[in-house]
Amino acid sequence: MTDTSHPSRISRLPAFLQQIAGIILTLAITLLGLLLVTFVISRVVPIDPVLAVLGERATTAQYDEVRLALGLDEPLWKQFAIYVWDALHGDLGNSIKSGRPVAQEIARYFPATLELATLATIIGVIVGVPAGVLAATKPGTWIDQIVRVVGLMGYSMPVFWLGLIGLLLFYGILGWVGGPGRLDSGFEMMLEFDLTQYTGMILLDTALNGRWDMFANAISHIILPASLLGYTSMAYISRMTRSFMMNELGQEYITTARVKGMPEYRVIWVHALKNVMVPLITVIALSYAYLLEGSVLTETIFAWPGLGRYITDSLFSADMPAVLGGTVVVGAVFVTLNMLSDILYRLVDPRAR
């Protein structure tokens, strides 16, 4: 007896690859649009890039020389082409404030945001998904009410207020966690000289170096801001999980499984949750992207040297190359995560293919 499923799978493969190619093309067009928007912003803001470099006392000769060096004498279409070419090669310009390449500064600050957002997303998923499932399986009960109220509080309470209260209670009064920053001052001075930095993420780098004392200190500092961000992520994830699960538990195949005598835990945690995870992938990806770009207040309150705080400080300093470079990176991360979630969606759910 011959296997006829193999040729059909092969025949479906090119169509799936075409869909992936379409997603990648959409990603490229979106990123090009993002670069166009940031380019237009850099040209319409009331800040002269030449004077920002030289200062108000620059002579006419100095002004013209820097203007030529920045390519501002070229037509706008050519300036945009140069801007795109430089961005594709990792050149986002130089910071006016520090004089260093913006790409190098972002590479220094972004791992801190990545570390914080990743841990917060893990907390949000670990707590939010089971909470949403339990609420959906017991609608109208006290469990459902608690999950919904806790989720509503996560939506309603300002992050800066939660951060200040958390610092006051857990750091100032109880002393259970470390204070602002990524490390205590003593470990911070050792960071540059006594630790090989592979990724820029302190938890991972200290573990790879076997510096468990520094690892424990980093945990004490990150646990509070990560938990607060994880709480806001959990509120969103639990709400969406509850909605997806309630819709899924009303499907005919769930009723059929129960009639056949399948154990309830298998019906809920295996069959229903498996189908719920398909749209939930997009929800988790969006939550992760939001934490990567929207943790400015948390980073400011906890003196966390991340990308959000870098962009905010650059904005207050009128350092437009740094602001626009950070904006491009944040937008690229957001679009890329959306693309990856779309690809995972199609891989997990055959119906999407």
- Looking up residue 105, the CATH number of its domain turns out to be 1.10.3720.10
pLDDT for 42 equals 72
Domain coverage including residue 225 = 100-352
Q: Is residue 104 part of a domain?
A: yes
Share of the chain above pLDDT 70, in %: 88
Q: Is residue 217 part of a domain?
A: yes
pTM of the shown model = 0.81
**Mean pLDDT along residues 224-244:** 90
Q: Is residue 253 part of a domain?
A: yes
Render pLDDT for 250-284 as a digit per residue (tens, 0 to 9): 888 888 888 888 888 888 888 888 888 878 888 88
Nearest to residue 341, comparing CAs of 287, 290, 282? 282
Residue 124: band (very low, low, confident or very high) from pLDDT cuts 50, 70, 90 = very high
pLDDT for 160 equals 80
Please report the sign of the dihedral spanned by the C-alpha atoms of residue 173, residue 177, residue 181, residue 186. positive
Q: Is residue 73 part of a domain?
A: no
Residue 348: band (very low, low, confident or very high) from pLDDT cuts 50, 70, 90 = low
Q: Is residue 26 part of a domain?
A: no
Render pLDDT for 56-74 as a digit per residue (tens, 0 to 9): 676 777 777 777 776 677 7
Q: Is residue 17 part of a domain?
A: no
Q: Domain count for the chain, please give it.
A: 1
94 pairs with which residues across the strands? 101
Is pLDDT of 106 > 60?
yes
Nearest to residue 310, comparing CAs of 301, 118, 299, 302? 299
**Mean pLDDT along residues 75-86:** 82
Report yes or no: 266 and 260 within 8 Å, Cβ to Cβ: no
101 pairs with which residues across the strands? 94
Q: How far apart are CA 80 and CA 86, in angstroms?
A: 10
pLDDT for 312 equals 83
E runs forming strands in the chain:
none
Q: Is residue 78 part of a domain?
A: no
List the structure tokens of 335: 């679009």
Q: Provide the mean pLDDT of the chain.
A: 81
pLDDT for 175 equals 86
